[in-house]
Each structure stands twice: as C-alpha cells, then as structure tokens.
Amino acid sequence: MSMRLMECLATTPVLAELFSDESVLRAMLDFEAALARAEARVGIIPKDAADTIKALAKPGSFDVPALAVAAFRAGTPAIPLVKALTDQVRKTNADAARFVHWGATSQDVMDSAMSLLLKRAEPILISDLFRLENALKAVSERHKNSVMVGRTLLQPAPPVTLGLKAAGWLGSVRGGRHRLQNGLDDAAVLQFGGASGTLASLGDRATAVIEALSVELGLKAPSAGPWHTQRDQLATMVCACGVLTGSLGKMARDVSLLMQNEVGEASEPGSEGRGGSSTMPHKRNPTACSLTLAAAYRMPGLVASFLSAMVQEHERGVGGLQAEWPVVVATVQLTGVAVASMAEVAEGLSVDTEKMRVNIEITNGLIFAERAMMLLGPKLGRDVAHKILEGAARRSVHEGRNLAAVLADIPDVTAHLSAADLKELETPEQYLGSAEAFRTALMTEPGPKNNDNDDKEQ
C-alpha cells in the first residue's frame, strides 16, 4: 500500500496504489513500450529494437527518487525517464537505443500515461458508486413510510419521509455517475503529436502509428489529431468529479446533522476504532461524513485550478500541463474517498424511527401550520388565513400548547374546521403530498436522453 500519512484522509488504499510512484512510472513506460511496438508494426523501427525496449521498460529498473529530482530540473518527468530508458536499452542493444521515444514528445508521454491511469481508475470508482446506489435504494425502500420532520434553513418544516430523502441522494449520485463515466471515457484518449502536434517526423505513416499505438495501449485514438493544448475533455472529467463530490458532500452533511444528539434520527455504522474520540469514550463521530465533507471542501479550488490552467499557449503551453497532473490526481482520489465513504454510510445506516416521531411531536404541531392555512385559505382568503396562523403559532410557542388546541379556541377557525378536522391536522401521514410519487420516480433509472437535433437534417 502506498498511502502516506499526509494524504491518508484524502484517498483510498486502492487509489493510492493506482497513483503511486511505481504505478505512474509503469504507465509512462507502458507508453514507451507500446510506441516502439506500434512503430515496429508499421515498419518505422526494427522489430528487435521494439522487443528490447519493451523488455527493459519495467519500473523496477529505475531509480524513482533520482527521476523526481531530475524532473524538477527538466520541468517534466518524461525527459529524465526517456534518458534513463535509453541508457538501459543501450547497455543491451546499442542500435535499439536509437529508437527509444521515436517521434514522440514529452507531453505525449505525460498525457497518455494520465489517460491510462484514468482508464484504470474508472472501474474502481464506478464499483463503489454502484455499491452506494444499491445501498441507497435499499434505504429508500425500507423507509418509504418512515415519516420525519422536514427541515428548511435548519428549522422544522412540514413532514417528509426518509425514503424520499434517500431517493433524493440517490438521484443526485446516479446523475453524477453518468457524468463521471462519460467524462472518464472521454478522457481516456491517446496523446501522440510529436514536437508541434503534426507528427512530421513520421511522414505519411503518422496515422498508422496512431491507430496501432491506440490499440497497443487500449486507449481511444483522438478523433481529430493531438490535443496538446486543448484540455476540454480532461476539464469535463474534472468538473464531473467536482459535481459528484459536491452531491456526496450534501448527503454527508445531512447524515452528520441527523447524527447530532439533539436530533438522533440516523447515524453512521460504528465499529472498533471507528468514530471514537481520543478523550471522550462516549463519542460516535461521523467519520465517513467528515472525510466526504473534507473532500467536498477541497474540490472547488481544484476544479478552478484546472479550468485556469486550460488557457494554454499556441501548440504547447507554459506551465499549464505542469499545473494539471497533481490537480487531476487529487480530484480523482478525493472523489474516490467520498464515494467509498458514503457507500459505507449507506450500507450500514442506523435509523431511529421512534426518534423521528418524537421530533415531530415536540414541534407541538407547528410544522402543520401550512396545512391549516391551506384548509382555511379557500374559506377566508390566503392573507387572512396566513395572519390567523401567524398569531396562533406565536400563542402555541408562548403557551406551550399544540397548534390544533390553540386553533380550537379561535372562532374564525372553528367556523370552518370541525373538531375532527383539527384532530387530524397534526397527523403527518396525511400531509405528505406527492412524496411517494417523487420517491418512486427518483428510484427509477432514467433511460438515455434523446437529442432532438440528432433526428434533424444537418
């Protein structure tokens, strides 16, 4: 495992391993080996040279700390890596050494290596997202009738169901998954353009090499040539990470608030070594929510950094690429830790339906003031009904009485609402509106969106 103490709360073990020094180095060397094989396939370099380069492009043969120090001087890890690989090949086959990195440029190595890493990250992220979605479906279905206080501006509002709340989380997460999958798919693209993005060094065989190299690496060939300073597909992926992590942060915020002792309606799963305090043995802290919220706090700045770095000059930019690598890695790892954390929360969420009912009752019926106003509005007019309910609400708070009891003392109310009406007023199940219809709609996986323009003649 390659997790470092300074980053241990900002990634998962599997993503830490994916973006470890050895894994990143392997991706760069995979590009060099694949390039040699592709060029041998189309007859640009000798096959024995490609075989030698492939055989020696192994991470264990390289001094990573030395490469990192050299990269600081060179402005890119690709330059010292190519030099070290050439030296390795030369020791075995001097002629083959001439063909290392043939026709490529440093950015081709860096961008293609990142594309490989993103392609390898996709199944990790998507697997945890499906875990989360399946868990949220189960929570929503199990608690479709679990009534709880709705909360607006952190204050009590008309009732909702936990099933609807969980379905809302699900809908947002599912949309984020679709955007992320599309973003990662678009970002897994080969970069191969040579010095100025023309591959002039390969003459009329450039396209053939691109096709062969994309097959070797399992990456899509670029649809319209190299994209050295066109960073839109990576930007889309980074933005998708930002939106998804924000959605997960919203879920984490909700759960952590529900865990407060004063609320006590739901909580994260607890276990040995999880959620405790170094000084307070009674604590059950929202650990997974904390990690998710930390990711959500950091993500907007990272997304902004990437978007700023898109403004790259001409055919090859100054500083933009160097800014991107750590930003892309951080966005993917933060997304990963947020997804994995909330999957764990959803799978082990503890729910106290009795406390939900208690929290409804301690509002003394005030959360049903809107319902009373809507019943009286057609009889008295909305403005008059609203004024009556405002006064009744103040009396309810001041006197510590239920709203229905206060309303029963007001002649303008009892003239239009019977004792049975007032008794039913504070029954939460009777004022859920379209909660179940909305929940059901959110639980359904939407089909692909049709683009009307696709059916029109161009």
Nearest to 88 by CA among 61, 124, 49, 115: 61
Please check whether residues 140 and 282 belong to one and the same domain.
Answer: yes
Q: Say if residue 277 is in the same domain as residue 167.
A: yes
Residue 157 sits in the same domain as residue 294: yes
pLDDT (0 to 100) of residue 458: 37
Quote the pLDDT of residue 281.
43
Buried b (16+ CB within 10 A) or exposed e, 229-251: bebebbbbbbbbbbbbbbbbbbb
Q: Residue 199's domain is classified under what CATH number?
A: 1.10.275.10
Residue 439 lies in a domain: no
For residue 125, being part of any structural domain is answered with yes
pLDDT at position 456: 41
User: CA 35 → CA 45, 81, 209, 397, distances in Å?
Assistant: 10, 15, 8, 75
Which residues are designated catalytic? 277, 316
The answer to the question of residue 84 being in a domain is yes
What is the predicted pLDDT for the residue at 224? Answer: 86
| Domain match, 141 and 37 both | no
Instruction: Please give the average pLDDT of every successive group of 10 residues along the chain, which has 458 residues.
Output: 80 96 97 98 97 97 96 96 98 97 97 98 98 98 98 97 98 98 96 96 96 97 92 97 98 97 93 53 78 98 97 94 95 98 97 97 97 95 95 96 97 95 95 97 78 44
Last residue of a domain, one of 326, 344, 362: 362
State how many domains the chain has: 3
Residue 438 lies in a domain: no
Range of the domain at 358: 121-189+227-362
- Residues with Cβ within 8 Å of residue 198, at least 6 apart in sequence: none
Number of residues written out for the chain: 458
**91 plus 198 within the same structural domain:** yes
Enumerate the H helices of 160-201 as residue ranges.
Answer: 162-187
Same domain, residue pair 382 and 353? no
